[in-house]
């Protein structure tokens, strides 16, 4: 895969399709572009006449690990700006689900000149969803470094996988300063403490006025604790030029995926397997806007 050095770290990417408007497609969590379910959506969008840029964000997939910025999403927004600038791409469509939705929204807030339209789904919010992010993505690494120093990161499966995908990451992790890592981890953790006036972790509500691009929001499932229906409704209220639609997948798709994930089954839903069902709605929105 090709890569570009952004902020002293390699960012791996792939562009699918030869013609048409570019869509930057971003998955959730710390998953890379090889996460099952993402490529079928990308291929459906290419079949609909678009190009699609897939990328491994810092700390995801085969890209270099990086640690800077007010939040991890701020770091990723800055990285995406650098990637699009280096590739001389944009303005373009930003489309993302879960953490990818948050990264896309923040990019549109900070760098609106890069964004022509915005497509969002599985938006994380609410008390459970927000606290769960901090517990999952920040606390294990913070506790490992407090107890064992920077070397403790290599005991965590998440960072071992980053080294397996990209051997450079071992030295990059071991070169981190313990005190600076702890300081940054505590800063990133603050974003995941629910606060009045922050529908999205680490992003003040009044900043959404900066999003002027036409926006499609696929609302969260009725009982989805990670991506609450209420949060997508609130984001719809915050983004003036937005359209809200019902999910094209079953209302309980995420809950069933979580059950399968916890029990080790894969016979019903992978977390992102249903995302391809959004392709017709996304293509319709882009054709009309």
Q: Does residue 19 sit in the same domain as residue 152?
A: no
At 257 the pLDDT is 77
**Which segment of 8-17, 37-46, 245-254 scores lowest on mean pLDDT?**
245-254
> C-alpha dihedral over 48, 239, 200, 263, to 10 degrees?
-40
Is the predicted pLDDT of residue 92 greater than 70, yes or no? yes
Tell me if 185 is assigned to some domain.
Answer: yes
Tell me if 283 is assigned to some domain.
Answer: yes
In what helix (H) or strand (E) does residue 93 lie, and over which residues does it extend? strand 92-97
Q: Does residue 59 sit in the same domain as residue 43?
A: yes
At 265 the pLDDT is 60
Beta partners for 243? Answer: 216
Q: Could you tell me the pLDDT band of residue 109, with boundaries at 50, 70 and 90?
A: very high
- Across residues 5-12, what is the average pLDDT? 97
At 84 the pLDDT is 98
Tell me if 63 is assigned to some domain.
Answer: yes
Q: Does residue 216 sit in the same domain as residue 282?
A: yes
Average pLDDT over all residues of the chain: 95
- Across residues 253-267, what is the average pLDDT? 72
At 130 the pLDDT is 97
Tell me if 230 is assigned to some domain.
Answer: yes
User: Which domain covers residue 187, as residue numbers?
Assistant: 139-191
- Across residues 186-211, what is the average pLDDT? 97
Q: Does residue 95 sit in the same domain as residue 14?
A: yes
Residue percentage of the chain with pLDDT more than 70: 97
How many domains are contained in the chain? Answer: 2
Q: Could you tell me the pLDDT band of residue 20, with boundaries at 50, 70 and 90?
A: very high
Give me the residue label for tokens 């981190």: 176
- Asked which of 153, 175, 191 is the last residue of a domain, the reply is 191
CA–CA gap between residue 84 and residue 275 (Å, rounded): 24
At 169 the pLDDT is 98
Tell me if 134 is assigned to some domain.
Answer: no
Q: Does residue 102 sit in the same domain as residue 235?
A: yes
Q: Does residue 83 sit in the same domain as residue 168?
A: no
At 262 the pLDDT is 72
CA–CA gap between residue 82 and residue 163 (Å, rounded): 23
Q: Does residue 112 sit in the same domain as residue 208?
A: yes
At 254 the pLDDT is 81
Give me the residue label for tokens 């959004």: 278
pTM over 0.85? The answer is yes
Contact in structure between 253 and 274 (CB atoms under 8 Å): yes
- Across residues 149-161, what is the average pLDDT? 98
Q: Does residue 117 sit in the same domain as residue 221?
A: yes
Q: Does residue 73 sit in the same domain as residue 146?
A: no
Q: Does residue 59 sit in the same domain as residue 143?
A: no
What's the token pair of residue 154?
A: 């290599």
Q: Does residue 25 sit in the same domain as residue 162?
A: no
The domain that holds 98 is classified in CATH as: 3.40.50.1820
Tell me if 172 is assigned to some domain.
Answer: yes
Tell me if 40 is assigned to some domain.
Answer: yes
- Asked which of 169, 191, 213 is the last residue of a domain, the reply is 191
Q: Does residue 109 sit in the same domain as residue 216?
A: yes
CA–CA gap between residue 147 and residue 199 (Å, rounded): 33
């Amino acid at each position: 895969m090709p890569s570009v050095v952004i902020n002293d770290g390699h960012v791996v990417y792939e562009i699918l399709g030869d013609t048409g408007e570019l869509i930057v497609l971003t998955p959730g969590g710390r998953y890379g572009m090889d996460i099952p379910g993402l490529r079928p959506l990308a291929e459906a969008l290419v079949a609909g006449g678009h190009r699609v840029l897939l990328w491994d964000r810092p700390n995801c997939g085969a890209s270099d690990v990086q640690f800077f910025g007010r939040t991890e999403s701020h770091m990723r927004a800055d990285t995406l700006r650098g990637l699009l600038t280096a590739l001389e791409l944009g303005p373009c469509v930003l489309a993302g689900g879960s953490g990818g939705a948050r990264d896309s929204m923040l990019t549109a807030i900070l760098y609106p000149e890069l964004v022509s339209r915005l497509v969002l789904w599985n938006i994380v919010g609410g008390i459970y969803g927000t606290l769960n992010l901090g517990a999952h993505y920040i606390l294990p690494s913070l506790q490992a470094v407090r107890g064992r120093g920077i070397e403790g990161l290599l005991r965590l499966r998440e960072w071992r996988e980053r080294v397996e995908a990209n051997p450079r990451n071992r030295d990059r992790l071991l070169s981190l300063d313990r005190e600076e890592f702890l300081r940054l981890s505590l800063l990133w953790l603050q974003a995941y403490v629910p606060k009045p006036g922050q529908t999205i972790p680490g992003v003040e509500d009044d900043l959404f006025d900066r999003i002027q691009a036409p926006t499609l929001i696929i609302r969260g499932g009725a009982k989805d604790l990670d991506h609450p229906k209420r949060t997508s409704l609130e984001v719809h209220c915050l983004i003036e030029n937005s359209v809200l639609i019902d999910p094209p997948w079953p209302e309980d798709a995420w809950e069933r995926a979580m059950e399968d994930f916890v029990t080790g089954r894969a016979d019903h839903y992978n977390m992102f397997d249903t995302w391809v069902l959004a392709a017709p709605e996304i293509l319709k929105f882009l054709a009309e806007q």
